[in-house]
A and B are shown apart, each in its own frame.
Chain A
Amino acid sequence: EPEVTQTPSHQVTQMGQEVILRCVPISNHLYFYWYRQILGQKVEFLVSFYNNEISEKSEIFDDQFSVERPDGSNFTLKIRSTKLEDSAMYFCASSDYDTQYFGPGTRLTVL
């Protein structure tokens, strides 16, 4: 069964450093998303991406964040200058219409 994959599973970085989280969505899906879950909190929407552009972004998704689909398979989330409060699980999701399928997540730890 097709699945969403994410790498790395765990990323540790120093505050102020740039990180890139990678996702391979399900191959025939057209809609791509990033969510995050801070420990003990809800899963929160960050950004949606369709037709090679951002379709919606949340207040969390400020100028430090960017997304890209550099080729036909990868979907990346870049955080330019990480802050302590960016520590969270980051989930990628994809859908062909209305049901989103999630990857296993990347645990980002900012020291």
Chain B
Amino acid sequence: AQSVTQLGSHVSVSEGALVLLRCNYSSSVPPYLFWYVQYPNQGLQLLLKYTTGATLVKGINGFEAEFKKSETSFHLTKPSAHMSDAAEYFCAVSVNTGFQKLVFGTGTRLLVSP
């Protein structure tokens, strides 16, 4: 069965610093992988997704993620954090059920300090 592990429930960075949020997945088939962001009291918004093709995926707001099959990882990065990036981030894998059934990690809350 597919599953997702996000290391670190909280990550703190200073404004302007590199953001690295870790995600490892388990899947018996080639995975489709997603990163979502959740701002307070809002629904989830898709940041980026990997399906096939290029392993480095660029998303909105300057975020990108690299699919590394050998490491079963899909870490999310941003070169320079902004205060507005403070939110909860969820990694998800799509289960091969014939529709896009998402299995989510437990989330990482990103805190950005001035």
| Pairing of A with B | no
